[in-house]
Amino acid sequence: MNSVINPATEEVIAEFPMADVAEAEAAIDRSKKAQREWASLSLNERRDGMLAIAAVVDANLEELARLESSDVGKPISDARGEVAMVANCFRYYAGVVDKILGETIPVDGGVDMTFREPMGVVAVISPWNFPLPIASWNIAPALAAGNSVIVKPADITTLSTRRFGELVATLNLPANLVQVICGPGRVVGRVLTSHPGVAKVSFTGSTATGQDVMRSAADTMKRITLELGGKSANVVFADADLDLAIKSAPGAVFGNTGQDCCARSRILVERKAFDDFVSGFVAATESLKIGDPADPETHLGPLVSRDHHSKVSSFITDDAVLAGQAPDGPGFWMAPRVVVDPDLTSRVVTDEIFGPIAAIIPFDSEEEAIRLANDTIYGLSGSIWTTDLGRAFRVARAMESGTLSVNSNSSVRLQTPFGGFKQSGFGRELGLEAINGYTELKNVFINTQA
Ligand code: TXE
């Protein structure tokens, strides 16, 4: 039995059995049949099927948000917004079903064209920080392209995805089109990443597990998309609208209690503005409300688990400035901390912490800012704050990162590609680009001289 623990209270809120290898294999067999059925439906039927998923998510938004909030420790206002995004994700990709285009290519001696064909069974292995949204970013484009899906949520945060699976099963869709299977990553996850019946694996999680997924998928040459960790830079130039940059920065690193692959956990600030930024940032962070995730006013909940709390605690050093007050009593609570001008080789600067700890680092020139921003094994996200348009473009083009924003700390939009450079992974989620990751490209040449 797997016990689900509410990280804000440490109470067991649900128990359910974990799947084993045989169950995972049976799910793959069922999924193959579902895929053939789904791909043979008309375009309108597939579109309507996806709209029905969006509608059932909307109709159950409050329940799904409460499950997510109690399972992850996520503030309820965030969870509501995330579940609304899940519904929008299915609506967006419902509109894509009949817009998956090929090309005609000028050639001699005939006509040449390309088709984007479904891959087959897609396995989605999702993490615990944004369980349902991240699963949906992969389920929706996979379905739009004519694939079936098996989702394996992280063992510690299964509730929203399990309920989503139950809701989808009530719809008039091919049986087993979307199956949710809960089990340990090293057992059930491994079956999905190694079984010949799975064509594609979309994995979101740690870089170390991503490497394991790659190795395991190699034997059967699976297609893979990896969305892994990050150590994103928030680069603030002195010519920026400093008030706006300061107001936005705490949410960008401490949102979801820092458990965000896009967390701007390295804040690089031009020296001329450094002291003002640091004092403003600490004050803005102190105004964040830490506490009961069920309270709509709460900004920060607890960390997701006891294990994760002890991992994040190992990053706390004596020079960290405490910015806020965590509740006493049960729960995996941690108040935000700020480390000012740290040694650039320290773990707080180099490692993905995945908790509420920010490093603020000074720089003196644009070149130095770029060098510091790129001085990491990761390359997922990042921000540039400046009022100089030329500088904004220069720095954005020079940063080794897949998802950047200027004068904004946003990373994710349903319409735009999301993914990383370097050890943050490869492949892109979201936008029309995601469809390329869920289709095989086929070229057909027709001889017109025969
Ligand atoms: O992730 P794992 P963990 C980072 C973050 C965090 C660290 C560890 O730094 O502290 O990873 O988190 C499944 N084959 N991110 O240990 O292990 C697992 O069951 C197949 C960043 O929880 O990567 C879960 O469903 N699957 C990240 C998923 O992989 C396996 C989000 C992720 O778990 C498997 C989460 C295996 N051998 C953590 N082993 C981000 N990019 O946002 C585990 N799994």
CATH number at residue 49: 3.40.605.10
pLDDT one-digit tens code per residue, 251-281: 999 999 999 999 999 999 999 999 999 999 9
Q: Minimal CA–CA distance to 127: which of 70, 180, 197, 203?
A: 203
**pLDDT at residue 389 in the model:** 98
Q: How far is the CA of 205 from the centre of ligand 1 (A)?
A: 4
Binned at pLDDT 50, 70 and 90, residue 3 comes out as: very high
Please check whether residues 265 and 341 belong to one and the same domain: yes
Which of the pair, 2 or 363, is modelled with greater confidence? 363
Please check whether residues 15 and 158 belong to one and the same domain: yes
Distance CA 350, CA 319 (A): 17
Distance CA 308, CA 173 (A): 38
In a domain, 96, yes or no: yes
Please check whether residues 334 and 205 belong to one and the same domain: no
Domain hosting 342: range is 233-406
Enumerate the H helices of 152-189 as residue ranges. 159-169
Q: What is the rounded average pLDDT of the residues 101-107?
A: 98
| Residue appearing with tokens 């004519």 | 146
Please check whether residues 151 and 48 belong to one and the same domain: yes
Do residues 226 and 426 touch, judged by C-beta distance below 8 A?
yes
Please report the atom of ligand 1 found closest to the CA of residue 126: 25
Distance CA 235, CA 385 (A): 6
Please check whether residues 134 and 149 belong to one and the same domain: yes
Please report the atom of ligand 1 found closest to the CA of residue 260: 42
**pLDDT at residue 1 in the model:** 83
Do residues 2 and 15 touch, judged by C-beta distance below 8 A?
yes
Tell me, using a 6 A CB cutoff, whether residue 190 lines ligand 1.
Answer: yes
The CA angle 176-177-183, to the nearest 5 degrees, is 65
Please check whether residues 331 and 391 belong to one and the same domain: yes
In a domain, 331, yes or no: yes
Please check whether residues 277 and 237 belong to one and the same domain: yes
pLDDT one-digit tens code per residue, 274-303: 999 999 999 999 999 999 999 999 999 999
227 is catalytic: yes
pLDDT one-digit tens code per residue, 43-68: 999 999 999 999 999 999 999 999 99
Tell me, using a 6 A CB cutoff, whether residue 185 lines ligand 1.
Answer: yes
Query: Hey, what amino acid is at 406?
Result: V
Tell me, using a 6 A CB cutoff, whether residue 206 lines ligand 1.
Answer: yes
